[in-house]
Amino acid sequence: MSGAIRARHRLGAAAAYLRSAPGAYMWLLVLFVTTVALHHIPPQFEDDFLRQRSTNINELSANPVRVFLTSAMWIDGGRWLPYAVLYTVFHAPAERWLGTVRWLAVCIAAHVLATLAGEGALLQAIRDGTAPRSAADTLDIGVSYALAGVVAVLVYRIAAPWRYAYLAVVLCVYLVPLAASPTFTDFGHVVALLVGFACYPLTLGRGKPWNPKETPAALGS
């Protein structure tokens, strides 16, 4: 097989892989575009620009639907490549396994419910006087809550005993920061994790769990 034919085969395989998880990779493309755009915003305006698209208490009170959508379209910090890896490792397999509609339902549920829980806890802290009133305008954007929900629901994709090892790692990743130096974002991540676990009914009828020993392939295959 010539080099040109091999290259075409590889491109075809890559295109097929991307088409197998259209929602995840379209979302990733949006994040790439907005990350490039963010790098062209003068630094002195960046915080205000992102805050208007943030799910902080003030914006949620004024424009809840808009900020729930826009907050999931931007990355705080401007580093896109790590998210490309995370979307490929978690979101794409989950979408191929669950189907786009069910995968999106997990993402939306985790994003919305974890945001409401985190901001609700922050609002109570402000009312109690344990957090400053300025915290109502805190920057809160990103896709980490949806990611946590998807990471959690993938527990049901893996066969025992591998499932328990995966679950132990997931719990360590999210619970250790909450126990060590808790923030409202850490609390939101744990809520998103619980939402993902609660999405078990969406996994019914999606095939038998993946056994790495028997089928050493991708989670979503």
pLDDT tens sequence across 41-79: 888 888 888 888 999 999 999 999 999 999 999 987 778
Q: Which DSSP string do the residues of the chain spell out, in sequence order?
A: --HHHHHHHHHHHHHHHHHTSHHHHHHHHHHHHHHHHHHTS-HHHHHHHHHTTS--HHHHHH-HHHHHHHGGG--TTS--HHHHHHIIIIIHHHHHHH-HHHHHHHHHHHHHHHHHHHHHHHHHHHHHTSS-GGGGG-----SHHHHHHHHHHGGGGBPTTHHHHHHHHHHHHHHHHHHHS--HHHHHHHHHHHHHHHTGGGGTTS-SPB-TTT--S-TT-
| Interatomic CA distance for residues 48 and 41, integer angstroms | 11
| 50-54, 88-92, 112-116, 152-156, range with the lowest pLDDT | 50-54
90 or 2, higher pLDDT: 90
| Residues listed for the chain | 221
Q: Which of 117, 107, 172, 178 is nearest to 144 (CA)?
A: 107
Task: Determine the pLDDT at residue 221.
Answer: 53
Of the chain, the percentage scoring pLDDT greater than 90 comes to: 67
Q: Provide the whole-model pTM.
A: 0.89
Task: Determine the pLDDT at residue 145.
Answer: 96
* pLDDT greater than 70 at residue 9: no
Burial class (CB in 10 A: 0-12, 13-18, 19+), 152: buried
Confidence of residue 3 (pLDDT cuts 50, 70, 90): low
* pLDDT greater than 60 at residue 218: no
| pLDDT tens per residue across span 116-131 | 999 999 999 999 998 8
Domains of the chain: 3-203 (1.20.1540)
Task: Determine the pLDDT at residue 70.
Answer: 93
Average pLDDT over the chain reads 90
CA distances from 137 to 47, 71, 80, 82 (A): 11, 14, 25, 27
3 or 139, higher pLDDT: 139
Task: Determine the pLDDT at residue 4.
Answer: 65
